[in-house]
Amino acid sequence: MRPSHSSFGALLRAWRDRLSPADAGLTVTDGRRAPGLRREELAQLSGISVDYVLRLEQSRAKSPSEQVVGALARTLQLTRAERDLFYRSAGLLPPQDGQVNTHVPASVQRLAARLGDVPIGVFTADWTLVWWNTAWCALHGDPALLPAGERSLVRALFGDGPARASMLPVWSQRGQDAFETSIVADLKDAAGRYPADARLQRLVRDLQAESPEFAGYWSAQTAGARHTTDRKTIRHPQVGDIVLDCDVLIVPDADLRMVTYTAAAGSSEAGKLDLIRVTGAAAASTPS
C-alpha cells in the first residue's frame, strides 16, 4: 500500500521540530521560541525554497523528487531507517544497496557543524557534494545555487555546464595533472564498487562524450593515486590568491569524504580565510 502524502508532511514537520539548530550548524540567539529548525532554515540548508517546504508540510506539493527528499533527509539528520521511511512516505523507493551512498550520518554532520570556522564539504564516493557549511560557501560559492546534478567535483573539472562555470580558479601544489588523475582514479574505484548505480554510469558516459581530457584519463591503463591531501591556491574574488591546506578525511562505514581547508594560526592566509568567512556570513544573512 502506498503511504499517504499527508504522512510525509507530518514527518517533515515532526523531524524539523526535533532537530536542534546548534546540531545543524546554526547560531542560536536569545529569545528563540521554537526548539527546532524554522522553515526558512530548513529550506536554506536543503537548497530549496521556503514556499516549497510549506507546501510539502501542508500536503499541497505531492510529488517531491528523489533529490529533494534526499536533501531534506540529510538536513534533518535522519537515521537510515528514518530516511527509508521518509522516502516511502513520499511514494519513492529508498536508495538501494549497490548504489553510491548519499546519506550523511548525523554524527558526521554534528562533527562538521562544531568545526564551523573550517570550510567543510562532504562528498560521496563519486565526488558528489552532499553537505557543506557556511564557511565552505564563503570560500567556494554557495552550492545551493547549482542544480543538484551539477554539485559534482568531477563535473566542475571536466564538464561543460554550471559546475565548471562556477568553479573558482584553483591550483594544486601537486600539479593539475596529478590532481585530475587522482579524482578520475577515485571515480574508477567507485564505478568498480557500484556497477549497478545508473547515475554514476551516466556521469561517466556524459564526461567521456564531453571531455577528451576525461576520456584520456579514463582509458589510461595505469592506475592513478587516490586523492587524499593537497595544498591548494584558490583565486578568491575578495582576497585574491589564498593558499590553504586541503585534507580529505575518509568516513569508511558511510563511504564518504570530508574535505577541509585550513591555514596555520596567525598566518596571513588565516587572516584571509577569516575575512572570507566573515564577509561571506554577512552576505548570507542579508536578504536578497
Give the tens place of pLDDT for each residue, 41-83: 999 888 889 999 999 999 898 889 988 998 899 899 998 889 9
CA 126, 127, 128, 131 torsion-angle sign: positive
Domain final position from 29, 60, 89: 89
Using DSSP's 3-state secondary structure scheme, residue 254 falls into: coil
Give the tens place of pLDDT for each residue, 230-266: 999 999 999 999 999 999 999 888 899 999 999 999 9
Give the tens place of pLDDT for each residue, 147-181: 888 999 999 999 999 999 999 999 999 898 999 99
Q: Which pLDDT score, from 0 to 100, does residue 285 have?
A: 40
Rounded CA-CA distance 46/70 in Å is: 9
Q: Is residue 116 assigned to a domain?
A: yes
Co-location of 150 and 121 in the same domain: yes
Co-location of 63 and 119 in the same domain: no
Q: Which of 236, 229, 235 is nearest to 259 (CA)?
A: 229
Residue 2, pLDDT above cutoff 50? no
Q: Is residue 236 assigned to a domain?
A: yes
Neighbours of 191 (CB within 10 A): 18
Rounded CA-CA distance 72/83 in Å is: 9
Q: Is residue 177 assigned to a domain?
A: yes
Would you list the DSSP string of 161-203?
Answer: SHHHHHPPPEEETT-HHHHHHHHHHHHHHHHHH-TT-HHHHHH
The CATH number covering residue 25 comes to 1.10.260.40
Co-location of 151 and 79 in the same domain: no
Domain final position from 54, 89, 124: 89
Co-location of 81 and 151 in the same domain: no
Q: Which pLDDT score, from 0 to 100, does residue 206 have?
A: 95
Co-location of 64 and 130 in the same domain: no
Q: How many domains does the chain have?
A: 2
Considering the chain, what is the average pLDDT of its residues? 88
Q: Which pLDDT score, from 0 to 100, does residue 46 have?
A: 87
| Residues with Cβ within 8 Å of residue 113, at least 6 apart in sequence | 22, 23, 24, 25, 133
Highest mean pLDDT among 22-26, 113-117, 193-197: 193-197
Q: Is residue 100 assigned to a domain?
A: no
Domain final position from 39, 54, 89: 89
Rounded CA-CA distance 135/273 in Å is: 9
Cβ atoms of residues 16 and 36 within 8 Å = yes
C-alpha cell at 213: 581530457
Which pLDDT band holds residue 99 (cuts at 50, 70, 90)?
A: confident
Q: Is residue 99 assigned to a domain?
A: no
Co-location of 181 and 142 in the same domain: yes
Co-location of 73 and 132 in the same domain: no
Neighbours of 1 (CB within 10 A): 3
Domain that holds residue 41: 5-89
Apex 236 CA angle, 232 and 237, nearest 5: 170
Q: Which pLDDT score, from 0 to 100, does residue 22 have?
A: 83
Rounded CA-CA distance 132/137 in Å is: 7
Helix (H) or strand (E) holding 86: helix 80-89
Rounded CA-CA distance 17/248 in Å is: 33
Rounded CA-CA distance 160/248 in Å is: 25
Instruction: Produce one character per residue of 219-229: b if its CB has 16 or more CB atoms within 10 Å, e if not.
Output: eeeeebeebee
Neighbours of 38 (CB within 10 A): 15
Co-location of 120 and 176 in the same domain: yes
Residue 282, pLDDT above cutoff 80? no
Q: Which pLDDT score, from 0 to 100, does residue 271 have?
A: 96
Q: Which of 182, 68, 194 is nearest to 202 (CA)?
A: 194
Q: Which pLDDT score, from 0 to 100, does residue 222 have?
A: 63
Q: Is residue 10 assigned to a domain?
A: yes
pTM of the model: 0.79
Span 257-281, mean pLDDT? 92
Q: Is residue 150 assigned to a domain?
A: yes
Q: Is residue 211 assigned to a domain?
A: yes
The CATH number covering residue 149 comes to 3.30.450.180
Co-location of 75 and 116 in the same domain: no
Co-location of 120 and 241 in the same domain: yes
Co-location of 113 and 217 in the same domain: yes
Give the tens place of pLDDT for each residue, 113-145: 888 899 999 999 999 999 998 899 999 999 988
Co-location of 71 and 143 in the same domain: no
